[in-house]
Amino acid sequence: MLDVINSVVTAEKIVRKNLAIKPNEEVVIVADSKSDMEFVYTLAGVIKSVGAEYTIAIMPDRDHSNAAVLPNFINKGLESADVLIGLTRASGAPCYSEVAQQLFYSGKIRSMSMVFRNLNHLTAGGATADYDKIAEKASELASIWREGK
């Protein structure tokens, strides 16, 4: 249960900063039967807190033969969504399906791939990094390198 509580900080960053989800936007979270539902519900709760609508779509597991195929029902739903979050554990279908790719690259949908992840990925490692601070330091280093010092 502590992991759920601790994961909210990272979920807030994902929803409010990385995806910049706004009130009244429609967000589709695509999971499968192997997804960590605590992870799904943590993100859904934060999405709700910004005033956006979320839909959780649970698809069947996929094997290598159809790993990039979303059910047609989900594909149709993506056409009216503003944001897609892929949280499947068995395949990368939410992020690599033809429909999702077309919508993303045409700018019609924002997307974040968190396929093959679980709740622990929100509470440890890179998820806990201060990326603003990292970007600031990287900018300082780039300046030094440009000056050749």
Instruction: Find the mean pLDDT for residues 126-135.
Output: 78
pLDDT digits (tens, 9 = 90+) for 30-62: 999 998 898 899 999 999 999 999 999 999 988
Dist CA 119 CA 12 (whole Å): 14
pTM of the model: 0.80
